[in-house]
Structure 1
Amino acid sequence: MPRVAQRQDRVSLRLSPQSKQKLERAAAYLDKTLTDFVIDVALQKAETVVREHEMIALTAEEWARFQNLLLDPPDPNERLRRALAEHGRILRP
């Protein structure tokens, strides 16, 4: 059964013949087309990079401290009071 392309956008790459051969060889080992192989590997790497930049991992101790600070925040210190006053001054018409 022929595959129907679901992709509409295009990305063009320039690489050395040696790099292309290596990618083709790796794709062949996985019985994938070069396009499918490159897309799969790129999306795996993208997922890792996005996760590293958008997720925060806390230890059990850090999580407990975070929860405690949310439930019982400390009183505002002088620096925070000044910042809030400055914020209010800037935003007042």
Structure 2
Amino acid sequence: MARTAPRTEKLDLRLTAATKRILQTAAAASSRSVSEFLIESGLARAAETLPDRARFGLDAEQWEAFQTALDAPAKPIAALKKLLAEPSVFEQSHAK
């Protein structure tokens, strides 16, 4: 059996009684403690969420196209240029 690092960190949660009952029921249904259920579920969700935000792989052709796109000058967008030329809501005078 592989040894795991000791759990030394704590995470407190505030939740409704109904939410707590649902989590307890789900944990019991999967023969886990609520802590184990939440850790496993949270890590599974994190594994789904994080990869596309941390790394992505490209083959040589895709990498070249990516570099070309990054190096290309920005295309002018008339609507954006107009928007950025207008004073922001913080710069506008509120005096009437």
Query: Structure 1 length as normaliser, TM-score?
Result: 0.57
Q: Percent of counterpart pairs with the same letter?
A: 25
Task: Please state which structure has a larger fraction of its residues in helix.
Answer: 1
**Distance in 1 between residues matched to 2:33 and 2:15, nearest whole Å:** 17
* Count of paired positions: 66
Deviations 1:61-90 (A, max 9, x none): xx35236x39xx87xx8x6xxxxxxxxxxx
Unpaired stretches in structure 1, ≥5 consecutive residues: 80-93
Residue of structure 1 equivalent to 2:28: 28
Other-structure match for 1:53:
53
TM-score of the aligned structures, taking structure 2 as reference length: 0.56
Structure with the greater relative contact order (CA < 8 A, sep ≥ 6): 1 or 2?
Answer: 1
Between the aligned partners of 1:65 and 1:33, the Cα distance in structure 2 is: 48
Query: Following the alignment from structure 1 to structure 2, what is the Cα–Cα distance between the partners of residues 18 and 57?
Result: 42
Work out which of the residue numbers 61, 75, 82 in structure 2 matches 1:65: 61
In the alignment, which residue of structure 1 is the partner of 2:87?
Answer: none
Deviation at 1:6, TM superposition (A): 2.1
Residue in structure 2 matched with residue 15 of structure 1 by the alignment: 15
Give the partner amino acid of 1:56: F
* CA distance, structure 1, for counterparts of residue 28 and residue 55 of structure 2: 34
Q: How much is the aligned-residue C-alpha RMSD, in angstroms? A: 3.0
CA distance in 1, matches of 2:14, 2:49: 23
Residue 82 of structure 1 is matched in structure 2 by none
Alignment gaps of 5+ in structure 2: 74-96
1:2-32 deviations in whole A, cap 9, x for unaligned?
Answer: xxx9200000000000000000000011100
